Structure 1
Amino acid sequence: MLSVLLITFPFFALVACGFVATWRGVLPQAAIAGLNTFVLFFALPCMLYRFGAQTPVEQLLDLNVILVYLLCAAIMVGTTVLLTRRRMGWNDAAFGALVAAFPNTGFMGVPMLAALLGAQSAGPVILSMAIDMVITTSACIALSRLDLAGGQGVWTAVRNSFKGMAANPMPWSILLGGLASAMGWVLPGPIDKTVDMLAGAASPVALFTIGAVLARSQMNSHERVAAHDHVPVALAKLIIHPMLVWAVGMSAISMGLSLSHETLVVLVLLAALPSASNVSLLTERYGAHSGRIARIILVSTSLAFLTFSAAVALMT
């Protein structure tokens, strides 16, 4: 366990650095938008393209991985909504379900799993990101609109979510990386070096930015949130989600599905990641309880240093 903590410590330390820098005013809140832009539009797309281009295309189209991960996401969303909807309505229940099912794969999972498991993690990581960005997010946004009279606005919200994804460079970088792998494309030397440099910057800047975003959400939130409204969801993300993925994956293997143990380890560790920080932005856009979602993300990220490290120690 100690050896695992020594590996994961630098990643969470960078998150803590971003949090403290923003909380203490060393990093102005106005600068966080610039960090987000660099990570989302430059560094992470280059990292995802590089992973996709270097991963065999059959791993990027693994139907068994898609089925296992998507089923678990559906169970997490459905269960969370079922348990919370009557108490807080569709809007808050849906976004609570999204943070329970959507791990912080882009900002945290991509660099951390690459460091822990190497290139073998690339295929499942890319597939899980695509599922969460396209299917899980769209489904939760649609559910959040059911509070409106007659369910009006559901399809408008779904269309807007797809428009937002079309403007997001990460799905396009995944697609281009997959095409490069399938077609055997190789970037010209100077361009390849530029992509490599930007990809190398993704990990430290993304982790630092997570901390900055978490600090900003706490500093700007004046809503009081009861512990029973956010702690159970954070624990479900860190504990129930990876246990569910492990159980479903083992069941799939016992039924004869071609899912390797190594791939299942990657999926379990992805599920053990804390909640995705970008959900707080969607919450604000759709008028849900942003303070509750921000607190879930903060608690899950804080506890993940121990719970994720424990998951790594158990699975590897």
Structure 2
Amino acid sequence: MLAILAITTPIFLLIGIGYVARWSGVMQREQVQGVGIFVLYCALPALVIRALNQQPLEAIFQPHYLVAYGLGSIAVLGAGLVLCLKLQRQPLNASAMQALGMAAANSGFVGYPVAAMVIGSPAAVLLALNMLIENLLVIPTALILAEMGNQHGSSVWKTVRQTALNLAKNPVLIGLTVGILIAVTGVAIPGPIEKVINMLADAAGPAALFVIGGSLFGLQVKGMMRDVGQIVIGKLLIHPLAILVAFLLIPDIEPIYFAGALLFAASPMISIYPLFGQRYGLGGVSATAMLVGTIASFFTISLIIWLMTLSGLITF
């Protein structure tokens, strides 16, 4: 257990440093957002590019992994929709947002730093694969459904087109495209540029955790316990469980990737989740779920790492 705490404690201490920086007034909200922009537009794309050029392309893009992670995530999204829309009779837009909170992990800002501490360099490869699932499948599906709820089923194709345009501007997916092109063409990256890519990639983990901590400052837990509770439980427990089942059903996935997938799935909801929630009338619930989920993930991630060590999936 001490070995597990040695991994998880520094991660959440970095989150705490970000929080204290905002609480103490050392950094303002806009400054934390600036660090977040640096991570999203510079560090994470560089991390993906480096990952795609450290080993042969055929060793990176594993269809079995993509299918398993995609099935597990979309199953949680569907279950969340059924729970909120059919059983609790909530509106479609609110149901889609709650389901998104359960099914889309914070892969870049929490999942990658945690996985990198546990499984090492393969974490960067998994970041690229998971970003494909989240940005091309889970998030667009939830946003299209939420927009349909707002517009009562009209302008669906307009929503699909707008979502596609937004995805085309996603810096991580742009980095993914650049990395694939470099890997396919075999173009050698000049030494100075490669050094810059490495420096940016190394900054991704610590800076991302700092941003998460700073973003949590000012969020308040209010009387929304049912919705917040089911989102947090769905994200931190049901999503990893669904990924576990999906990976057990699909063969030929390396154990280290299996372990990494569970760590990514155990991460709290995506960092922009409160922004999506605010757009669709769920601002308070989504922000509170982000706060509670991030704090609770210290315990659930530690538990999942401990269970994986007991099963022999990972060793220290």
Q: Same fold (TM over 0.5)?
A: yes
Structure 2: runs of 5 or more not aligned: 309-313
Q: Is the 8 A contact 1:105 1:270 kept in 2?
A: yes
Per-residue Cα deviation, 1:199-223 (whole angstroms, up to 9, x for no partner)? 122111111001111225x16xxx9
Distance change >3 Å, CA 17–CA 90, structure 1 → 2? same
In structure 2, give the amino acid aligned to 1:91. Answer: N
Which residue number corresponds to residue 189 of structure 1? 191
Query: 1:242 is matched with which residue: 224, 228, 240?
Result: 240
Equivalence for 2:305: 312
Aligned counterparts of 1:42 and 1:122: Cα–Cα separation in 2: 15
Q: Which of the residues 162, 179, 182 maps onto 1:160?
A: 162
Deviations 1:100-155 (A, max 9, x none): 11111011222321222112333333111111012111000111123245401333
Residue by residue over 1:12-38, the C-alpha shift from the partner in whole angstroms, topping out at 9 and shown as x without a partner, is 111111122213332111212211211
For the 8 Å contact 1:141–1:158, the answer to whether it is kept is no
TM-score by length of 2: 0.91
Contact 1:95 1:288 in 2 (8 A): no
Partner of 1:20 in structure 2?
Answer: 20
In the alignment of these two chains, the number of paired residues is 307
Instruction: Report the residue type matching 2:194 in the other structure.
Output: D
1:194-205 paired onto structure 2 within 5 Å? 194-205=196-207
Cα 1:203/1:69, change in 2 over 3 Å: same
SS in structure 2 of the partner of residue 54 of structure 1: coil
- Structure 1 residue 308 displacement after superposition: 0.5
CA 1:210/1:149 → structure 2, altered by over 3 Å: closer, same or farther?
A: closer
1:123 maps to which residue? 125
Q: Deviation per CA, 1:82-106, whole angstroms, max 9, x where unpaired? A: 1112443111111111111111101
Identity %: 32
User: Which TM-score applies when normalising by structure 1?
Assistant: 0.91
Deviation at 1:41, TM superposition (A): 1.0
Does 2:293 correspond to 1:291? Answer: no
Counterpart in the other structure of 1:175: 177
Higher helix share: 1
CA contact (8 A) 2:47 2:124 kept: no
Distance 1:55 1:97, change over 3 A: farther
RMSD over aligned Cα atoms: 1.8
Between 235-244 and 19-28, the greater mean CA deviation after superposition = 19-28
Alignment gaps of 5+ in structure 1? none
